[in-house]
Amino acid sequence: MTLQMSYQEKYEEGMEHEKLETAKRLIRLGKFSLEDIAAGTALSLEKIKEIADMQPV
């Protein structure tokens, strides 16, 4: 594995983490539909539903 490949993988992991954290914040706000959050974060609707189910009430 080259250094550039390692850097790219870490970058992609960081981007995915940020999408997940953004989705969690938007779900907690309660102002957006799950469909809108999926569209805004580029995560699948299934992933957004999974995240929403894990959020405390």
The total of other beta-carbon atoms located within 10 Å of residue 23's CB is 24
Q: What is the pLDDT of residue 5?
A: 77
Range of the domain at 22: 3-54
32 DSSP assignment: S
pTM: 0.84
Reading the block at residue 1, the tokens are 């594995």
Query: Are the beta carbons of 27 and 52 closer than 8 angstroms?
Result: yes
Quote the number of domains for the chain: 1
- For residue range 21-56, list pLDDT tens digits in order: 999 999 999 999 999 999 999 999 999 999 999 988
* Alpha carbon 27 to its chain's center: 11
Residue 32, φ and ψ in degrees, nearest 5: -125, 150
Q: What is the pLDDT of residue 57?
A: 67
